[in-house]
Structure 1
Amino acid sequence: MPTSVLVAYGSTNGSTAEIAEAVGEVLRKEGLTAEVRPAPSVASLASYDAVVVGGGLYAGRWQKDARRFVRRHRGELVERPLWLFSSGPLDASASERDIPPVPGVKKAMDRLDAREHITFGGCLREGAKGWVARMIIRNGKGGDFRDFAQIEEWAGRIGRELTGK
């Protein structure tokens, strides 16, 4: 039974990092050892039995650190149970229906034989980095659309699958 899970994330403004922390917390409650780390800080997957990778969505692409992580660790990722998540829609759509992965994430899913992908709502707050983000906020389209009940339910399913409960 896998016991050690890495939750790696690519996050520009912190929203995806908060989702990753919530996933890690649920996995620990399910009896697993879960380490939550920014994707660039992970040198090896040798000490992990399973991996969850998340990335924010920006202009239809996964955040660059998440993309680089799956490329850099592709050989190790195919040897472990793997789940992927994206965060990004700045509306309630992710809570209302299943949103398929963007093309680059779909390609990673297929190459790495990921077990599942889910898209969660995003969050864009005042003070966000980037010209586009500031324009979105200025136009009144920011806000927090993350559904933590949905995030926790998904993470719980992963935990139960890994523990066999």
Structure 2
Amino acid sequence: MSTVLGMRGKDKRTEIIYLASHGNENHIGPDSANAISRAEARNCFIAANGKGQIKGLFLGTCLTGNTAVAKFFLEKPETKLDWFAGYSDSVHWIDGTAIDMIFFSKLAELYVENKSKKKGKLSARSMAHTAATNLVKLVPGAHSTYGFNIYFHENNKLTSMFQ
């Protein structure tokens, strides 16, 4: 993970990291023997994102889209992340992948539109919030059924779309 993040943090293009895997509140990976801890993942972000190029982290993993994990990533200023998204409940991989792809489709549309603007450019945080809003319009059960949530850290306070 550290090698890939290191490359992405320096390529002058990558602003979002999407990691889909099995997971839980403490680990990301298929099982405890083949997983990395959330502390290891956060340390990789700190090492890779020194210039703050990576703005968002989407963990397409079960049980990681909760306030505790969001705090863990966002309240450590050295990660330089603007937003964090994931699922607080267990999600079947096909359903989760479909929801993830809708989110990223909406986010990509905003990035393309934003790139062509000369004035009034949107922040990465604003685009992520809008993409999540558009997602729940299309998939109203994304939050209530699967626990999809997106978190932001601003003014020394953690906020989310659904709390």
TM-score category (smaller protein): 0.3 to 0.5
- Structure with greater helix share of residues: 2
By relative contact order (CA 8 Å, sep 6+), the higher-ranking structure is: 1
- Structure with greater strand share of residues: 1
In the superposition, the TM-score normalised over structure 2's length comes to 0.43
